[in-house]
Chain A
Amino acid sequence: MGKIQEKIASFLPEAVFEEGQYLTVTVAPRKWHGLARFLHDDPELQFDYLASLIGVDWGETLGVVYYLNSTKYNHWVIIKTETSDRENPLLYSVSDVWESANLNEREVYDFYGIRFINHPDMRRLFLREDWVGYPFRKDYDANPDINPIPVSNEEANDKTVVLEETEEGTIVEKEKILFEKDEYVVNIGPQHPATHGVLRFKTSLNGENIKKIDVHCGYVHRGIEKLWESMTYPQTLHMTDRLDYLSAHNNRHALCLCIEKGLQLEVPERAVYIRTMMDELMRISSHLLFFATMCMDLGGLTAFFYGFRDREKILDIFEETCGARMTMNYNVIGGVMADIHPDFQRKVKEFIAYMPDKLKEYHQIFTGNVIAQQRMKGVGILSYEDAINFDVTGPSGRGSGWACDVRKRTPYAAYDKVQFKEVLRTEGDTFARYMVRMDEIKESLYILEQLVDNIPAGDYAVKTKPVIKVPEGRYFQQVEAARGAFGVYLESRGDKFPYRLKVTSPGLTLVGAVDHLTRGAKIADLIAIGASLDYVVPDIDR
């Protein structure tokens, strides 16, 4: 810790430091961009991974909290920057330092009204352009008369705004044209079979070639983070299953860990093992669904059913123990909701024996196919640097050679007790992303194999107080969800409601990389790339 503080203090003497889970640095907005560049480029710091970007309304001030991590040294720092101007809040964009800040800053603008100077595309991300007010502010007026249910279509806007600072320090707004009048723009989505949900790619085409993609999100945004601010902690848990519903256990695990960290609650060993196993089962089921939809998107409909057939077995296991096949509501603060079903271990063992043969079948029917290989190899290449820069975590990042597995980097639950290999590939193309997932199924099976017979006896949950109050502070927890690093940021003021609870979902950054990956590719490649990134829309639109 000392070194980071020293370094920052020598670069920026007026920075304010604060100890905590990680070192927190408060900087003035004007100084932040310079510091960001320094943190990113300094060889001894190398904060090249922006793990989370959180907008917060602190009452008098509005600001942003950045969680930075170095992929080389795996050290962390939290940067806080705020402005007291609530009428026209302005901060400096860091999207030129970390590309993943691009969509995240747009989200902050959308919900807090903070505009970022030098951001290349300062539009709302989720809400309609004509929305009045900024809903995540604490003083937001939710009166339905202000924002009635719209009865007209949203005007198609092909322009955006860029804020630039002149030499004298005044801010000027510049209009930027996204799509020219004579461009052939096709809307892929929001209702489209290959976007896996209501996501819209405004695609400019030149024949079959893609010139540019503009992502439109927000069609299923439910304002979960806003709802959370009026929910007690046990209530907040239920929403996590509705984010990325294909890694529901992992998401809920993350939130539970974060709250438990705040409460300093020790979870019984049995619950830790059960949670780990559930996470891995969830991962397998998600990757099976990935395989299924990937094949479907490339036109191989039969393999689609094979993936679903085998995923069914996992859902059966979930159903017995959790009582549901989706939205399982299984993890709770201090453990899990109920003990495992008596058949659980037997069924998991059966599945471990069953799956390897099926994987071989997948490779025979799909992976080895010439057409499939031609469609995937060399398509949508994401370099190692870009993967970090765009914050493409999870299997997609590992396909580019980035060892970003949270289970390895900062082990949680029982992951330090089991052996498994972090699957890495260096090609960075669609095929690599596909193969990483297929190999991860094997690794997950291996983890399950090590755990299934060693679940310790004891309680499956500790008793918690009926009203849970998390002590004041900032907490952050990452877990490895099926699609990548899933971060939960919790800011508590000692209340029974969270003051700010924000999830950093892998989906948003994956979608942020689509434009970069598809430049110059074909329409069919967009589908293949999208399928290989494997984003889930409710995860993007929280």
Chain B
Amino acid sequence: MFDFSIITHWIDNLLRSWMPENAALFVEFVLVGVVLLLTYAVIALALIYIERKVCAFFQCRLGPNRVGPYGLLQSVADMFKMLIKELIEIKHTDKFLFNLAPYIVIVSSMLAFGCLPFGRGLIAIDFNIGIFFIMAVSSIGVLGILLAGWASNNKFTLIGAMRSGSQMISYELSIGLSFLTMVVFAGTMQTSGIVEAQSSGWFIFRGHIPAIIAFLIYLVAGTAETNRGPFDLPEAESELTAGYHTEYSGIHFGFFYLAEYLNLFIVSGIATLLFLGGWMPFHIGGWEGFNQIMDYIPSVIWFFGKVFVVMFIIMWFKWTFPRLRIDQLLRLEWKYLVPISLVNLLLMVLVVIFKLHF
């Protein structure tokens, strides 16, 4: 299997041979940043297109089909429109916080995005608390949403922001607990370590019952965390018009929009990382021939393929289920998901101690 660290090391050595170490590091940082930002934008555009097509087919429609072949350039055109739109200033708002909010949201999602392992050796930063870091930075996003709702000086946005705050903070618990469950199983918080640990079988198979429970809880909580249907209360279109980003226009609205889609990708990416083996090909212990064939498929394709499957599931229930009510949403979390997660964590610990896993 091709190791992308060959390329990165080659670039590293090349730069170091030309310039002093600090300068080389600086150039590398800039390069990595630019590449990540580009991937971020391209993935967001692709996702918007995919979502629109997928939902169109669910709804007996065709979806975008005018701009470019099969409407492929539709989201690019939309992005241009978004970029050249006026940033409307609203009276009686807290200008600084109002303008700050979208950046907080997008920065938090970019930071989490940067920690995902996209393929073998293709990871921007791989430190020993990787998964913990992802969780920490992705929870900053709620601050941006709260600020957006508050600073807009609009009653609808405020309700949306309050809903969002209570929702995201609640569901953070379930996410954290299902992370913890898998970290117990993997024995490490380092993303590369987690992926390596799944070389003989993905965690969802090896960890059987507790892993499957954790996966399901993670899917539900992850969807809630990204504010997508059926948990899209903060921006419940039919209730709050557009929730916390009602007053935003132009690229500031675009940032919320991009972050929302990228959060979908990140949530699916983490699900892939923790449960479906990350970029690790599908391996069955003992079947050497089969495993070798699987290794011929590049790791990047494995990663994106699995992410897409998870995303499709999340899209599927977004476009099928009606929306929950706020009290039902919180009841689901506090009365069902949290207790189940706690019991599940205990179960996982027992499984690990008594080596009941495969």
Contact = CB atoms under 8 A, between A and B. Distances in A.
B325 interface: yes
A299 B229 contact: yes
B220 to A, nearest CB: 12
Query: Is the contact region of chain A dominated by helix, strand, or loop, or is it mixed?
Result: helix
Contact of B325 (A301, A305, A522): A522
Interface in A288-313: 295-302, 304-306, 309
Contact of A309 (B60, B233, B321, B328): B60
A300 B320 contact: yes
Contacts of A522: 325-327
B324 A375 contact: yes
B60 A194 contact: no
Nearest to B242: A193
Interface stretch (A58-66, A214-222, A523-531, A533-541): A523-531
Interface string A191-220: 011100000000001001000000000000
Contacts of B86: none
Contacts of A365: 320
Contact of B328 (A301, A304, A374): A374
Nearest to B155: A186
B236 to A, nearest CB: 7
Given A299-B238, A302-B58, A305-B60, A523 B323 contact: no
A371 B230 contact: yes
Contacts of B321: 299-300, 369, 371
A368 to B, nearest CB: 12
A329 to B, nearest CB: 30
Contacts of A205: 159
A300 B159 contact: no
A202 to B, nearest CB: 12
A301 B321 CA distance: 8
A297 B61 contact: no
B326 A524 contact: yes
B156 A524 contact: no
A184 interface: yes
A372 interface: yes
B241 interface: yes
A524 B232 CA distance: 12
A305 B63 CA distance: 13
A524 B159 CA distance: 12
A297 B326 contact: no
A525 B325 contact: yes
A302 B319 contact: yes
Contact of B322 (A184, A186, A305, A372): A372
Contacts of A362: none
Contacts of B324: 371, 374-375
A372 B155 CA distance: 27
A297 B320 contact: no
A193 B155 contact: no
Contact of B238 (A194, A305, A366, A525): A194
Contacts of B59: 301-302, 304-305
A295 B59 CA distance: 13
Given A194-B239, A309-B60, A374-B328, A299 B323 contact: yes
Contacts, number: 83
Interface in B164-195: none
Contacts of A193: 237-238, 241
Contacts of B163: 208
Contact of A298 (B155, B319, B323): B323
Nearest to A374: B328
Interface in B46-78: 55, 58-61
Given A186-B159, A299-B232, A527 B239 contact: yes
B10 to A, nearest CB: 49
Contact of A524 (B55, B155, B319, B323): B323
Contacts of A371: 230, 321-324, 328
B322 A300 contact: yes
A208 B158 CA distance: 11
Given A371-B321, A375-B324, A523 B239 contact: yes
A208 B326 contact: yes
A298 B321 CA distance: 9
B130 to A, nearest CB: 35
A366 B241 contact: no
A299 B156 contact: no
A298 B241 contact: no
B263 to A, nearest CB: 19
Interface in A78-95: none
A298 B322 contact: yes
Interface in A263-306: 295-302, 304-306
A429 to B, nearest CB: 14
A524 B327 CA distance: 10
Contacts of A301: 55, 59, 229, 319
A354 to B, nearest CB: 15
A233 B321 CA distance: 49
A371 B331 CA distance: 13
A60 B323 CA distance: 57
B272 to A, nearest CB: 26
A316 to B, nearest CB: 16
Nearest to A194: B238
A39 to B, nearest CB: 42
Interface string A343-375: 000000000000000000000011001011011
A309 B322 CA distance: 19
Residue from A300, A366, A525 having most chain B Cβ neighbours under 10 A = A300
Contacts of A299: 229-230, 232, 236-238, 321-323
Contacts of B241: 192-193
Contacts of B237: 193, 299
B146 to A, nearest CB: 16
A302 B155 contact: no
Nearest to A372: B322
Interface string B234-250: 00111111000000000
The 3 closest A-B pairs by CB, nearest first: A299-B323, A298-B322, A300-B322
19 contacts: A186-B155, A193-B238, A194-B238, A208-B163, A296-B238, A298-B238, A299-B229, A299-B236, A299-B322, A300-B323, A371-B230, A371-B323, A374-B325, A375-B322, A375-B324, A375-B328, A522-B326, A524-B239, A527-B239
Interface of B: 55, 58-61, 155-156, 159, 163, 229-230, 232-233, 236-241, 319-328
